[in-house]
């Protein structure tokens, strides 16, 4: 309940800033994964190591996609609430 009361006191400007920061962070993570993927196989001779690195990067990328989806769902709820408030 303490956490909820903290969020209840946030201004729309603070929420917008968090949204903007979250989007930048997710983009940065996606770029970092892409960069890791391009560098993962440089100088690696073993097929097993290549396969392992690919699997790890696939897992990380999938996790980021799930986080982005959850963020989008939460953002949609916030936007819906704002629209509902304006209708009232």
Let me know: does 68 contact 26? Beta carbons within 8 Å. yes
> Can you tell me the distance from the alpha carbon of 19 to that of 16, in angstroms, rounded to the nearest whole number?
5
d(CA 49, CA 85): 54
The pLDDT of residue 2 is 56
The pLDDT of residue 17 is 92
- What is the reported pTM? 0.76
Q: Evaluate whether residue 7 is within a structural domain.
A: no
Domain count, the chain: 1
pLDDT of residue 29: 97
| pLDDT tens per residue across span 28-76 | 999 999 999 999 888 778 899 989 999 999 999 999 999 999 999 999 9
**Cα–Cα distance between 36 and 34 in angstroms, integer?**
5
* pLDDT number for residue 11: 84
- Domain span at residue 81 reads 12-87
């Amino acid at each position: 309940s303490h956490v909820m009361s903290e969020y209840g006191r946030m201004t729309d400007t603070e929420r917008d800033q968090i949204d903007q920061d979250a989007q930048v962070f997710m983009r940065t993570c996606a770029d970092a994964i892409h960069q890791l993927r391009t560098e993962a196989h440089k100088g690696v001779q073993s097929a097993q190591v290549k396969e392992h690195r690919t699997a790890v990067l696939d897992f990380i990328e999938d996790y980021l996609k799930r986080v982005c989806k959850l963020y989008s769902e939460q953002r949609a709820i916030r936007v819906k609430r704002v629209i509902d408030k304006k209708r009232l």
